[in-house]
Amino acid sequence: MSMDAVFRALADPTRRQLLDSLHIRNGQTLNALCAEMDMTRQAVTKHLAILKEANLVTTIRKGREKEHYLNPVPINEIADRWIGKFERGRLNALGDLKKRLERED
Amino acid sequence: MSMDAVFRALADPTRRQLLDSLHIRNGQTLNALCAEMDMTRQAVTKHLAILKEANLVTTIRKGREKEHYLNPVPINEIADRWIGKFERGRLNALGDLKKRLERED
DNA sequence: TTAATATGCAACCATTTGGTTGCATGTCAA
DNA sequence: TTGACATGCAACCAAATGGTTGCATATTAA
């Protein structure tokens, strides 16, 4: 729910890589995800916990394995609620800056 | 240029607040920006340096003051290049998860 | 049943982060 | 010219971060 958790989760390149990996192949087990990462399984587990906290990943226990699923909803919420705000002001902001820079010379 | 710097810059709530503040009123001086923040000027300076590194903020020296301008381009680049990817897979991913969850019961 | 496999958990560690204080420098105004 | 004001810079600090190792537990397969 908290946008802060999502931003924080997306800040780390390893975690974005995990999301990418799940985007390519959804439902991977912890071991499968670890195979692509250059770190210990325990480190990957911690990253996945942070992604789960941000509600970007959901897990399902399957026997002794654990499948991981991508939930893109929080990413879209950020896009809608936060990024959209700056997108609307894009051209105006650039125009203002340009004017200022020209006046500077 | 580096998307990583942008993600990292956006991860901190104080920095997002600074961007919000500049979005409301562009071209604010360091002192003006500090007035809204609950920390020392030096701390704000550090945050602004990180935003500048991510190319999210540009500055212009005006005498003894420094004006800060929002540059929304990197935010839009993230939206286009990275977020868009997950947006497209949104419905499918949710569908997959639902199927899995139903099969689980 | 027993061994291998998949994951969980905790302690520990180095580095980064986000903040502070103190002082230096440059510019404007009286 | 001199004092006030806006910013810059460096040292320092506590806490968070990202990683490790070691061991425990649960499930599957031989």
Phi-psi region at A71: left, alpha or beta (left = phi > 0; alpha = psi -120 to 50): beta
CB neighbour list of residue A88: distance below 8 Å, 6 or more residues apart: none
Rounded to a whole number, what is the largest CA-CA distance in chain A? 69
Percent of chain B with pLDDT over 70: 82
Q: How many CB atoms lie within 10 A of CB A74?
A: 21
Query: Residues near B97 by Cβ (< 8 Å), separated by ≥ 6?
Result: A26, A58, A69, A71
**Which nucleotide has the least CA–C1' distance to A37?**
D19
Q: Enumerate the β-bridge partners of residue A67.
A: A29, A60
Q: Which of residues 42-81 of B touch A (CB under 8 A)?
A: 58, 60, 67, 69-73, 75-76, 78-79
Q: pLDDT, tens digit, for every residue of B10-44?
A: 999 999 999 999 999 999 999 999 999 999 999 99
Least confident of A20-34, B56-70, B85-99: B85-99
Read off the tokens for A11: 């800040």
Is A100 a residue whose pLDDT tops 90? no
Which domains are delineated in chain A? 3-104 (1.10.10.10)
pLDDT band of residue B73 (cuts 50, 70, 90) is very high
**Do B69 and A100 count as a contact with CB atoms less than 8 A apart?**
yes
- Where helices occur in chain B by DSSP H, the ranges are 3-10, 13-24, 30-36, 41-53, 73-78, 84-88, 90-104
In the block, tokens 């931003």 appear at: A7
Contact B87 A100 (CB under 8 A): no
Q: ipTM value of the model?
A: 0.86
pLDDT of residue B87: 75
The per-residue pLDDT for range A53-78, each reduced to its tens digit, is 999 999 999 999 999 999 999 999 99
A104 has a pLDDT exceeding 50: no
